[in-house]
Amino acid sequence: MRKNVVAGNWKMNTTLEEGVELANQINSLLKGKTVNCDVVVCVPFTHLTSVNAVLESELVKLGAENCSEHEKGAYTGEVSAAMVKSTGATHVILGHSERRQYFGENNEQLLAKTKLALANGLTPIFCVGEVLEERENGTYNDVVKCQVEALFDLSAEDFGKIIIAYEPVWAIGTGKTATAEQAQDMHAHIRKVIEDKYGKEVAEDTSILYGGSCKPGNAPELFAKPDVDGGLIGGAALEAESFLGIIEAC
């Protein structure tokens, strides 16, 4: 059975002190609550160890926002999957549209990152999504299919360990959310693409999250759709109460 997941993506926000405080608040708000999803906070590399120290892992899991496509060695400034794992993190966001757009990450690199994340016992939250032009010219299903297919070198067993996040780029940080119907249609499409390659069981077991201006107000409608298994949350994850509101919508 696939899991519901709500994951926060802090991006390049919060100083270390602010991040630890936010993690503390999220942890405290979740204490004693029964929630219907796994909760993950994905934080800057610099924050991983300190945030891990304040989170109770049965309440909130920890993730990074990226990792290197190289195993180790002379790659100044890079952070490997093994390093991320050694902080106590369990998850890593890969292929976020900001990485694809601003840092030119391509399918080949993303496959290498995904393989290393899996080899190090991390759960990749693998992001896909079309830009506005592709939504408007009607190529969005093909675009997202190609992004998912970039992982088809993985075995069914490994693919089954991945979380997919559908994040229409035009909805990220813009306040413009996909309608629940648009999200459901794309999630069902992604599940079919997975089924055609790996079979029904893997497809049914894959958690597919929606991301893009998700807030406590629109989360219930989005999460009510049968193929939407939670959310990847940017802006609204930077405030403990609003993040909790989204978790409670799950």
Q: Which residues are catalytic?
A: 96, 167
What mask, x for binding ligand PEP by CB under 6 A, covers residues 118 to 157? ----------------------------------------
Q: In the bound complex, what is the minimum distance in angstroms from residue 75's beta carbon to ligand PEP?
A: 25
Smallest distance from ligand PEP to CB 231, Å: 8
| CB of 132 vs ligand PEP, minimal distance in Å | 14
Q: What is the smallest separation between the CB atom of 185 and ligand PEP, expressed in angstroms?
A: 18
Q: Is position 211 an interface residue for ligand PEP (rule: CB under 6 A)?
A: yes
| C-alpha separations of 163 from 72, 128, 129, 148, 232 in Å | 25, 11, 14, 11, 10
**If binding is defined by CB under 6 A, does position 168 make contact with ligand PEP?**
no
Q: Decide whether 55 or 236 has the Cβ nearer to ligand PEP.
A: 236
Is residue 61 a contact partner of residue 90, using CB atoms and an 8 Å limit?
yes
Check binding of 213 to ligand PEP (CB under 6 A). Answer: yes
Size of the site for ligand PEP (CB under 6 A): 13
Contact call for residue 212 and ligand PEP (CB under 6 A): yes
Q: Is 189 left (phi over 0), alpha (psi -120 to 50) or beta?
A: alpha
Q: Does 173 bind ligand PEP (CB under 6 A)?
A: yes
Give the binding range for ligand PEP (CB under 6 A) out of 48-56, 78-86, 190-198, 231-239: 231-239
249 is a site residue for ligand PEP (CB under 6 A): no
Per rule CB under 6 A, is residue 167 in the interface with ligand PEP? yes
Residue 63 sits in the site that holds ligand PEP (CB under 6 A):
no
**CA–CA gap between residue 121 and residue 128 (Å, rounded):** 22
Q: Among 4, 9, 27, 80, which residue interacts with ligand PEP (rule: CB under 6 A)?
A: 9
DSSP result, the chain: -PPPEEEEE--S---HHHHHHHHHHHHHHHTT---SSEEEEEE-GGGHHHHHHH--TTT-EEEES---SS-SSS-TT---HHHHHHTT--EEEES-HHHHHHH---HHHHHHHHHHHHHTT-EEEEEE---HHHHHTT-HHHHHHHHHHTTTTS-HHHHTTPEEEE--GGGTTTS-PPPHHHHHHHHHHHHHHHHHHH-HHHHHH--EEEESS--TTTHHHHHTSTT--EEEESGGGGSHHHHHHHHHT-
Instruction: State the minimum distance, in angstroms, from the CB of residue 29 to ligand PEP.
Output: 19
Among the listed residues 20, 232, 240, 249, the single contact to ligand PEP using CB under 6 A? 232
Q: Where on the chain is the footprint of ligand PEP (CB under 6 A)?
A: 9, 167, 172-173, 211-214, 232-236
